[in-house]
Structure 1
Amino acid sequence: MPLNSSSQVSATVSTTLPLSGKTVLITRSVGQSSQFAQMILATGANVIEMPALEICPPSSWEALDNAIINLSEFDWLILTSSNGINYFFERLIALEKDVRTLASLKIAVVGEKTAQSLKNHSLQPDFIPPNFIADSLVEHFPEQLAGKKVLFPRVESGGREDLVREFRNQGAEVVEVAAYQSCCPDDIPVAAELALQSGTIDVITFASSKTVKFFNQLAEKIFSDNSEDNQPSVVSNYLEEVCIASIGPQTSKACQKYFGRVDVEASEYTLEGLTQAIIDWAGNLR
């Protein structure tokens, strides 16, 4: 009897968690989903991971290496992602340099997670914009940009063109260099494929525009097998009953482009903010 009583209490506790009974598909990049998965699991949800993005080196290191060799020419170093930071410092070390090379530079980052990645290299950012989006970087920049030379290590393709354009409109000389590349994975985890085919997913989360684009590519492979005459299907048709959850405005734009809607957008553009937004969505269903 005590054993049965204990089991009942355990079951009661689990069902009172905010996302109990929900299945959440996480589409972060390979090797970067575990922290977010733990957050979602803590809410009582079932988590299925489907990495929709791989981070890899750029097609050439030449531009980044040349910029590192000439760091003394720059006034500011702009870092908008942990990936950019990690590859930048990888090349710094490969060129037999260290953080002392950055002594004459001011460093701006976007978001606390990016700031923490910089601190892992024993450096403090000189500027973090108040909002966790790149657009806020220009709006709140701490000094006049006219006449400043800015180094921007970034993704090789598909990055924030608006950010660079606005810096240049403010009079800055911006040198863009490829620090990494984002690619679509070749494979889909079996558990994710089965869950999408069976319609058992309640929420799909997106933490970047690229994961939206690459998820759509991967999902087309899955759903084309179910379409008549083996014609590619419209992925959005298969997601009609699924909540599309986005980390912020730029990601939401991609969701609108590929799926025609976004159901949840985080108020704070972080993984914690995205988790809370999904909890709020689930609460409104009750």
Structure 2
Amino acid sequence: MKTNSLSPTLPLTNTTVLVTRADRQSDNFVKLLQQYGTTALSMSCLCIAPPTNWELTDNALTNINEFDWLIFTSTNGIDYFCNRMINNQGNINALKNIKIAVVGSKTANHLINYGITPSFTPPDFVSDSLIECFPNKDNLKGTKILYPKLEAGGRENIPEELSSLGASVTAIPAYQSNCNNKIPSSIVSAFKEGKIDVVTFASPKTVECFYQMIQSIGGESFLNNICIASIGPVTSVVCKDVLGRVDVEAQPYTLNGLIKAIIKWNNYEKNHHK
């Protein structure tokens, strides 16, 4: 464990955690970690941007009243979709007439910030749970569902599975995420000096981009003595495929759940490596 100037009574004092989320998403997680005494470093692996073409999204917005359900699986999807709707129509009032399903409490709260309350949030914060528990899922024939999603990559199970249940699913590109290609020199130094205890991942794409960035500096071996922490099972699969292992998985699949899992790991390390 490394040094930290905060109170030694906090559970993650003397622990340095690397946050790999996109710039505009990392601040909240960094602040949460710091509340537990963590030295939190930020290495943005993704840059979030609008889709390459708005045509499909604009067509869906023009016909928004034809849909029975709208599905959001991320705060990025909400932001880009709602802001495009505001730009096109001046407001998002039409969304109050559509049932909206979201994956995760954070996504639900983000939608509420826009003045819209979701109709359904699955018990587990993963897309498989949304499909398994989707309202009236045995009678979806004729149901029209709009799914704003990541332009490329990500999982296609939502449109595939709901279509197989009889729904008509329109998947549209709401945003894209691209890999950053440069690691800040301060982070490179922290890796080389062995100052990082934990690297956190909140999405599969982040894992892939992180590994590309580490490879670019020949730093694969830096990870040998670092805890790999994943926010949930989908991300964990990619951690295992790309990095060869996952050491910590959040339970529940939230940032707070991830911090709790890191604290548990940290306590184990302290007790077994005195």
For the superposition of Structure 1 and Structure 2, which TM-score range results when normalised by the shorter chain? over 0.9
CA distance in 1, matches of 2:16, 2:86: 42
Deviation at 1:147, TM superposition (A): 2.0
**SS of equivalent to 2:169:** strand
1:160 is aligned to 2:144 = no
Distance 1:109 1:171 in 2: 20
State the shift of 1:134 in Å. Answer: 1.3
Number of matched pairs: 264
SS of 1:240's equivalent in the other structure is helix
Find the partner of 2:228 among 244, 264, 267: 244
Stretch moving more, 97-106 or 266-275: 97-106
1:173-184 aligned at under 5 Å gives the runs 173-184=168-179
Counterpart among 29, 36, 56 of residue 29 in structure 2: 36
| Residue in 1 that maps onto 2:123 | 130
SS in 1 for 2:12: coil
Identify which of 102, 115, 125 aligns with 2:108.
115
Query: TM-score normalised to the size of structure 2?
Result: 0.92
Contact 1:76-1:107 at 8 Å conserved across structures: yes
In the TM superposition, 1:185-204 aligns within 5 A as: 185-204=180-199
C-alpha distance in 1, partners of 2:140/2:23?
36
Task: Show CA shifts across 1:152-194 (max 9, x none).
Answer: 0000011221222111111111111000000112332221111
2:47 counterpart of 1:54: yes
- 1:146 is matched with which residue? 141
- The one-letter code sitting in structure 1 at the alignment partner of 2:161 is E
Q: Which has the larger radius of gyration?
A: 1
Partners of 1:203 and 1:72 in 2: how far apart? 46
Give the SS at the match of 1:158. coil
What is the aligned counterpart of 2:88 among 55, 77, 95? 95
Q: Contact conserved, 1:81 with 1:110, CA < 8 A, in 2?
A: yes
The letter of the residue matching 1:111 is: G
CA drift at 1:104: 3.4
Runs of 4+ in 1 over 4 A off after TM superposition: none
Which residue of 1 is the match for residue 74 of structure 2? 81
Correspondence for 1:6: none
Shift of 1:276: 0.5
Q: Sequence identity, in percent?
A: 48
C-alpha distance in structure 1 between counterparts of 2:236 and 2:149, whole Å = 21
Distance 1:116 1:43 in 2: 23
Q: Output the CA distance in 2 between the equivalents of 1:90 and 1:165.
A: 27
How far apart are the structure 2 equivalents of 1:208 and 1:123? 25
Letter in 2 for 1:255: C
Indicate conservation of the 8 Å contact 1:197/1:222, yes or no. no
User: How much has 1:202 moved relative to structure 2?
Assistant: 0.8
CA contact (8 A) 1:167 1:174 kept: yes
Q: CA deviation at 1:118?
A: 1.0
Secondary structure (helix, strand or coil) at the match of 1:223 reads coil
- Cα separation, 2, equivalents of 1:56 and 1:64: 15
Distance 1:222 1:199 in 2: 15
Can you give the 5+ residue segments of structure 1 that lack an aligned partner in the other structure? 1-10, 225-234
SS of aligned partner of 1:176? strand
Tell me which residue corresponds to 2:261.
277
RMSD, aligned α-carbons:
1.5
2:250 is aligned to 266
Structure 2: distance between partners of 1:140 and 1:38: 33
CA distance in structure 2 between the partners assigned to 1:105 and 1:17 by the alignment: 45
Once residues 148 and 171 of structure 2 are traced to their aligned partners in structure 1, the CA distance between those partners, rounded to angstroms, is: 6
Which amino acid in 2 is paired with 1:126?
S
